[in-house]
Structure 1
Amino acid sequence: VLELRDNFEKEIENRLNNIGIYPDKEWKDGRSLPHLSKDELDNRRRVAAFIKREEKIGHDQKKATSEFIKEASYTWINRLIGLKCMECRSLIEEVITTRPEYGGRSKQHRDFREKHPDLAAQPDDGLTGCLICAFEKVTKEIKVLFDPDNEYSLVIPRYPLLKTSIEKINSELDYDTYRQDEFLGWVYQYFNSREKDRVFEEVRTKKKKISGSDIINATQLYTEEYMVRFLVENSLGAMWMEMYPDSQLRERWEYFVKDPNNSTREPKPIKDITFLDPACGSGHFLLYAFDLYYDMYLEEGDIPEGRIPEYILRYNLHGIDIDLRAIQLSALGLYMKANSRNPDVVVQHMNLVSADAIMLDSDILGEFLQEFEDDPTALELIETIWQGLENVRELGSLLKVEEQIDEVIKRQRAKGTQKSLDDRDWREKGWEDWKGDLLTALKRYYEKAAQTFDLNRQMFANEACKGVQLLDLLERRYDVVATNPPYMGHGNMGEILKIAVKVFYPKSSKDLYAVFIERCLHLTKINGYTSMITQQSFMFITSYKELRKLILKNTILQKTIHLGPHAFEDISGEKVNTTMFSLLKNKLKNEKGIFFRLVSEVNKKKIIKYLIAHDEFINHKVFIIELSEFQDVEGCPFVYWMNESIREKIATLSSFRDIAEAKEGITTRANDYYLRYFWEIDPSKLGLDWIFYAKGGDYNKYYGNLELVINWKEHGKYIKKFPKSTIPNKKYIFKEGLTYTDISGKGFSVRYLPKNALFDSKGKGIFLKENDELLIYLLGLLNSKLVTCVLNMLNPTIDIKINDLNRIPVKVPDTSVLDKINLYTSKNCNIKRSYLQFTINDSEFKQTALQWVLEKKKK
């Protein structure tokens, strides 16, 4: 894929250069290029206008031209691979596969040459014409990919590249690979792999924020097959089994989990059961949902089998993505899926929308609005849409324009009769009617612009139509919303995205995946299913307590598989921990949820299938609990594996915050300048200008990690002056206490903090509220296995927050027990300090172990 990409990008750039368009130098006037024909000059005008439109949204010439080159290259690769996939499924005559009996050409190529000898005599052997002819045959049903009239089709690669690319496609992979549903998803993943690496490198080294097209590159992640099957079977499949509990379809679903509540519902026609993937990528969820829908239609028996694929695409499946390339692949995959079921199916409509409209050209918008100058309602609605779609390329499905549209319609209905786009009474009109009127008006505007060859007005109308089609999908509510959303922390978001999610999704704005949880719930009908795979942090950490409350208040967390680390092949390490879940948007009392705990399992897919097959669920990895129990613990963490005894103690005993408080420490914003190792400093200055500094550090209990010192000259005067530095909690400076490392993959560890030391934001301080005599007891308690166990339940991540400590249950024992605990804790501290006397890079260092042994021998 990457080799094809390199070759096509070089070729497309050369073809652009040939018509006077360059990424990094001034363009030539088309009139100064005598070698171009009239058609080529017309194509140049369209391509130039298309690239200039990209410049209007903030790209410079180089970026805009490079984006066109990349998108055109990917479109051509998608087309060639798409034709190959269709051939391998016997959906079209061979146009990519070459055979010796056809003179080393494909059958379609051979036949095309016979019908068009004039084109066969051209230097390209008629191959270009043959391919364009093949595109035209399927463009009616997959226009988004094969449309020969879109801007990416205007720059045609030359014969040598087309020929070598076809040879590579035919030789590199076997026939069966091209037949796999997930094949197109891997093509998409690999095409984006370089951009993904680049974006994360820039985030790491330059602290760059992710915005624009980089959002696509950074968040694209292929969902593995078992994940898709679990999520679709336990949402769409679950809905079917609730309607028809005796259905035999369950036997075909390997990942279907029996509902612990035995829920039922009234049957309704399958035609009315809608499914949305709001971040659909290459369509993996839609493709598997297609298979379930097909079997459901067959079992229902109301629709002729030959028409089932058409019904699924027209009425059931819906997909949105901010990447046009992803929508192209989704459309191709669904087309092939439909044709594999019925080769004669006519695909008239797919509910797939690319959220990439560019809503600019305010002058043209003003001109378009003149058509409705006597209709204030229409003007308000159109302006509402344009304003709402302004940042569609970054927000995609997260746009919340539908509420504003509904408000306008509701307000105008209340006023009574208004003139509307078709002079009908506003009290009779809803979004569906109004949308149709607006699309008709835009098409009229486009046709009028086409007659005068006005490219800017044509593009304006096209982009507006795309925006209205997106809003059409966002206006609806769905029976099932299933997706693998993008993952991106708040700190890495670009300014537009960061502000938007904070305003519209305050409960979940810390990460894009959590925002999508909230959005998906909003897009789901009452009594419908939201089914997702996301990071696990929303289940536990304090930042998402309001999101958890929202989930517990409005849904039943019916089925969850807690995967933990290493769930995705493409993500290594322990930092990304994931979970799959299915939520029923309906709140009933005393409902139960089933949870599978696989955080330590390596072969997660195999274990899931085994546990589900043995659905008596008497297993230490499976938990069935009443969901109301989550509310017994402050913050409502989804600690499904917490036993009743610990849950009761957390609810009834005093807590950490009653006797102590954890505090944020210093942030210098320039550690390289203000921090040193103690051995780098003149010993005479230690404790005066340079103070020992607890900055977290490695896993270490009781004592240690005080090898750093901080420049505290003139009471930290220079740190205080440094931009964005912070010295909070000043009253705790030089106060005896404890300190801990807030992020550690090895576990939670607490150490003694002497009076003559300061502490960092990554090595937070812990201080007694009143009784300082409990300091040693607290040091022992916090380093105990019991507290580690409780913390792993309250927040099973590597990042321990202050509020996690606050919720730890604490009981001060009677004097005799307290004295024993203090004695052993003090012994542990002394043992640790004795050990550190032999550690050369520690401030406690006195001598090496060898020196100590030699001295002992002398004595």
Structure 2
Amino acid sequence: FMEVNDYLPSGVRVLSSVESGKVEPDIIKNYKYVDLNLTVEDLKALRDMEDSNDTDNMYRFLLIKQCNKLNEILPGMFEKIEDYTELLLPDNLLSKDSVIRRFVSDIPEEDYKDQVEIIGWLYQYYISEKKNEVFEGLKKNIKITKENIPAATQLFTPDWIVKYMVENSLGRLWLEGHPDDELKSEWKYYLDEAEQEPDVQKQLDEIREQSKKIKPEDIKVLDPAMGSGHILVYAFDVLYEIYKKAGYSEKDIPKLILKNNLYGLEIDDRAAQLAYFSVMMKSRSKSRGIFNEQIDLNICSIQESNGIPEGAVDLLVNPKKTALEGWVDRKDVEYLINVFHDAKEYGSILDVKSVDFGAIEKRLEEIKDGDLPVYQLQMKNVILERIPPLIKQARIMSQKYDVVCTNPPYMSSGGLYYKTNNFLKRYYQDSCSDLYSTFIELCSNMTRRNRFVSMITQQSWMFLSSFKALRKKIIENMNIYNMIHLGPRAFKEIGGEVVQSTAFVLRKFRDDNFKGTFIRLVDNSRADEKELKFLNIINDRDKSNKYFSSNNSFKNIYGMPIAYWISNRMRIIFNKNKKISDFAECKSGIMTGNDKLFLKFWFEVCSCDIGLGLSSYKDMLKYNYKWYPLNKGGEFRKWYGNNDYIIFMRNSGQTIKQKSLNYRLRDSKYYFLPCITWSRISMDKIGFRKSFKGYLFGDAGPSIFIREDKINYLLGFLCSKIPNVLMTVLNPTFNFQVQDIESIPIIDSDNVLISDLSKKNINISKIDWDSYETSWDFKKHPILTYRQNVYTVKQAFNNWSAFAEKQFYKLKANEEELNRIFI
């Protein structure tokens, strides 16, 4: 990247040649003209290798020397290394298939030109194999440890989404106090604010009056999960334009940005190096002399304090201070070391308080310059190496920011190592379901009053019951300024419907009547389509899928889902009606921890070992069969069916308790009772079915228990169109949890027609299910059942087909009538 963009101080290429088609790097022939700090011995060794045509070893030698030289101007990227480490380099660095040749030949030079983002793409590719290994391990219940968190969670953010996040947070902050139509026009992803009510507008005007006092160097921007620095690089671009508009010298701007504005944290050392490099390269593109400034960037990879000896504390406390001063200094040093113990497990989510960092740094200078006894020299080296990085990261983590912008790591807490998981539960109780949701809370905590948080995350926090406390905290403390609801396929690298995303800007300001702007792109199936649709909407070329909604509208629905697109009529339905939980009990069911061992199809075991037709848990204790029927979800099906599985529950599941760690055996009072069940995971609509007495219910087949005379009425409602529409608000995912079903609003009624239609549809669906041999109520094949007086298979099949068609239209007519009644 540096040589293609002519950023190397020497101007001599190290990996390639300026001559088109030439394979040998220019440095081999021109090393004499490059300042590499070569000694007389180095020059003699190079001449010897040159004379003997030992080009490979000569190149290895020069490559090490060049990296060491670059350490002088880019210490955060090129670590100082000794010559012996060249032994770790692969052989044949100049061969056709070497990594260097692949970098040069496989990637066009044009891709490196002024596009530092390529560094992030290459790093994502570099860690992809490790990422696959980690996720394969998850399938085997191998939790993700601190060493593997980076590989599992790194995901390069699409460029247009980065621009949306930065322009609508950092850009908005500046424009509010310094309106500039020309500057705003350069930010093509900037969303204008919705028209507000007068009292809301008055508050916003007061904030803008304060914003007029902001100077460019006052603005602090943090990415607490910076990866390879994509967001920080674009924030640099925006800040550069802000400084220019404020009248600053273009020569001074890069230095001011690096010193005052940009802050970044990362858990992965290598990614942090790349972020440092990316920001420095962006700076170099604006200032030729930036390498000579020796700026210590406010960017760091979080380091652990593990292994710092106890004696370090004693040495870091100045013995010449008073007892009280020494006690305060000791407490600060002890805190600094303790808070970062196992810091790689937690990264940015550590809550770090500010201490007297200046006093600790002053003592470090005293230690560095002072004469210490010989026995303390080793301790001195440890302190001078290990403590400064802790101070730097503590400073960054303990202050507040004007803009916190990030694409956080995505990882369910269930996949994390126990230390990290326990930490989330202890310190982030409202957001501990996933790492990304924890970062939403973290970013809010690190943001100044009236300032901005901008993020891209999964959409699940907007709807799922497990994030209800987080939604409540956001709505009670912030406003959603705007949002791009992306849905599936926002990232080109991630296909399918499972990962669904949303990008948004929050403001740490609360007025429940503030109207946020929401752009809905969930129905666009490709990433490039989403970007084009967004641009068409904000430029008024497309009038659809743009909505305005306030905190009040979210608060009026149970669970506060971020249902910005629904009509007032639907809000009234949620607000006025009772919920299913007011009439029934919804239960999650049995979890074995090892379904392969404890679940089978009913036809895989002897029927004499299966307990059919039981009525209660007492019957289970009395007869003690080995196997029992189990509702286990299955494919989309309504009214009746999916009765395939049995579960080994002899002695009330004692074997499950003995052989499984992650099991759930509870709610035995509901065992074998008639109920309504559904498939918890469904890639289609949700389908509810009646379960007659005699079934247990599993985790994948949760159940609703209600008075038996109410089952048909409730099932009739649940099999109408209404619940699927309501679920787009409560949980527009593929995982339909008990809490979501409980929250469905319903009108209680004794409508006999509804119960009668429901009963007929159950019967039709049961006849269909029982016509196949996989049903344990199968009697004979339908061809024989509907043979009547015909004598050929074809005629018998036609009779069956005609009957099935008649049944289908009966079912369809009944469902249409139910929809008419409820709608």
- TM-score scaled to structure 1, two decimals? 0.81
AA in 2 matched with 1:118: K
Distance 1:118 1:799, change over 3 A: same
Match of 1:355? 302
C-alpha deviations, 1:494-550, integer Å up to 9, x for none? 122112111211111110001111111111111111000001111111111111111
Which residue of 1 is the match for residue 133 of structure 2? 198
| 1:580–1:184 CA distance, 2 compared to 1 (3 A) | same
3-state SS of 2:480 partner: strand
Q: State the percentage of identical aligned residues.
A: 29
Separation in structure 2 between the aligned mates of residue 106 and residue 694 of structure 1, nearest angstrom? 67
Find the residue that maps to 2:6 and give its secondary structure: helix
1:140-155 equivalent positions in 2, closer than 5 A: 140-149=72-81
Cα 1:508–1:104 shift into 2, 3 Å: closer
User: Match for 2:574 among 650, 655, 660?
Assistant: 650
Q: Deviations over 1:390-436 (max 9, x none)?
A: 0211212111121xx45xxxxxxxxxxxxxxxxxxxxxxxx453353
Residue 525 of structure 2 corresponds to 602
Query: Is the contact made by 2:489 and 2:500 (CA closer than 8 Å) also made in structure 1?
Result: yes
The answer to whether structure 1 residue 382 and structure 2 residue 314 are counterparts is no
Match of 1:79 in 2: none
The reply on whether 1:257 has 2:191 as its aligned counterpart is yes
CA contact (8 A) 1:83 1:96 kept: no
Counterpart of 1:759?
Answer: 697
Query: What is the rounded CA distance, in whole Å, between the counterparts of 2:598 and 2:60 in structure 1?
Result: 65
Q: Which residue of 1 aligns with 2:559?
A: 635
Are 1:668 and 1:719, in contact at CA under 8 Å, matched by a contact in 2? yes
List gaps (5 residues or longer) in structure 2.
613-622, 797-823
User: Could you tell me which of 766, 779, 783 is aligned with 2:719?
Assistant: 783
Distance 1:764 1:356, change over 3 A: same
88 and 605 in structure 1: CA distance in 2 versus 1, 3 angstrom threshold:
farther
Q: How far apart are the structure 2 equivalents of 1:655 and 1:280?
A: 43
Q: State the shift of 1:587 in Å.
A: 1.3
RMSD (Å) for aligned C-alpha atoms: 2.9
Shift of 1:442: 6.2
1:45 maps to none
Could you say if the C-alpha distance between residues 717 and 203 of structure 1 is closer, same or farther in structure 2, counting changes exceeding 3 Å? closer
Alignment correspondent of 1:417: none
Aligned residue type for 2:719: N
C-alpha distance in structure 2 between counterparts of 1:774 and 1:796, whole Å = 27
- Amino acid of the residue matched to residue 209 of structure 1? K
**Partners of 2:444 and 2:561 in 1: how far apart?**
19
- When structure 1 is superposed on structure 2, of 130-139 and 796-805 the one drifting more is 130-139
Write the distance in 1 (CA, Å) between the matches of 2:656 and 2:68. 68
Gap regions ≥5 residues in structure 1: 1-81, 407-430
Q: Distance in 2 between matches of 1:507 and 1:513?
A: 12
How far 1:334 sits from its partner (Å)? 1.5
Task: Find out whether 1:138 has 2:70 as its counterpart.
Answer: yes
Residue 121 to residue 452, structure 1, CA distance change in 2 (3 Å): farther
| Structure-2 change in CA distance of 1:213 and 1:717 (3 Å) | closer
* Matched letter for residue 849 of structure 1: P
**AA matched with 2:309:** S
Matched AA of 2:116: D
In structure 1, C-alpha distance between the alignment counterparts of 2:99 and 2:590, rounded to whole Å: 58
Are the counterparts in 1 of residues 428 and 438 from structure 2 also a CA contact under 8 Å? yes
Amino acid at match of 1:397: S
Per the alignment, residue 770 of structure 2 pairs with 837
Is 1:550 the counterpart of 2:490? The answer is no
Deviation at 1:750, TM superposition (A): 1.1
Partner residue of 1:424? none
1:169 maps onto 2:93 in alignment: no
Specify the code of the residue in structure 1 equivalent to 2:636: Y
Contact 1:86 1:336 (C-alpha < 8 Å) held by counterparts: no
CA 1:512–1:103: 2 relative to 1, 3 Å:
closer
Structure 2 residue identity aligned to 1:196: K
State how far apart, in whole Å, the 1-side matches of 2:395 and 2:107 are. 40
CA contact (8 A) 1:91 1:339 kept: no
- How far residue 150 of structure 1 moved from its aligned partner, in angstroms, is 7.8
Residue in 1 that maps onto 2:399: 476
1:694 to 621, 631, 644: 631
Q: How does 1:99-248 map to 2 (within 5 A)?
A: 105-113=24-32, 117-123=43-49, 126-149=58-81, 157=89, 160-161=92-93, 164-179=98-113, 180-204=115-139, 206-248=140-182
1:772 maps to 708
SS at match of 1:829: helix
CA pair 735-273 structure 1, distance change in 2 beyond 3 A: same
Aligned to 1:210, what secondary structure does the other structure show?
coil
In 2, Cα distance between equivalents of 1:153 and 1:176: 32
C-alpha deviation, 1:726, in angstroms: 3.1
- Give the Cα separation in 1 of the matches to 2:106 and 2:565: 48
1:280 aligns with 2:204: no
Q: TM-score scaled by structure 2?
A: 0.85
Match of 1:73 in 2: none
The one of 334, 342, 345 aligned to 1:391: 342
SS of corresponding position for 1:582: strand
Q: Give the whole-Å Cα distance in 2 for the aligned partners of 1:824 and 1:298.
A: 72
Deviation of the 1:128 alpha carbon: 4.4
Q: Deviations over 1:197-244 (max 9, x none)?
A: 11111111x210101210111111111111111111111111122122
- The offset of 1:646, in angstroms, is 1.4
Partner of 1:488 in structure 2? 411
Aligned-partner SS, 2:746: coil
Query: In 2, Cα distance between the equivalents of 1:851 and 1:87?
Result: 83
1:28 corresponds to = none
The one-character-per-residue Cα deviations of 1:604-660 (angstroms, maximum 9, x if unpaired) are 444444444443767341111122211111221111122111111211112111211
Distance 1:151 1:644 in 2: 72
Structure 1 residues 135, 83: closer, same or farther in 2, change over 3 A?
farther
Query: Which moved further from structure 2: 773-782 or 352-361?
Result: 352-361
Q: Do the aligned residues in 1 keep the contact of 2:477 with 2:509 (CA within 8 Å)?
A: yes
1:300 maps to 2:246: yes
TM-superposed CA distance for 1:716, in Å, is: 4.7
Q: Map Cα deviations across residues 756-800 of structure 1 (whole Å, 9 max, x no partner).
A: 1111122112111xx432110101111111011111211111112
Q: Is the counterpart of residue 97 in structure 1 residue 23 in structure 2?
A: no
Q: SS where residue 692 of structure 1 aligns?
A: strand
Q: Does structure 2 conserve the Cα–Cα contact (< 8 Å) formed by 1:355 and 1:392?
A: yes
CA contact (8 A) 1:482 1:532 kept: yes
Give the whole-Å Cα distance in 1 for the aligned partners of 2:674 and 2:512.
49
SS in structure 1 of the partner of residue 386 of structure 2: helix
Q: Among residues 645, 667, 671, which one is paired with 2:591 in the alignment?
A: 667
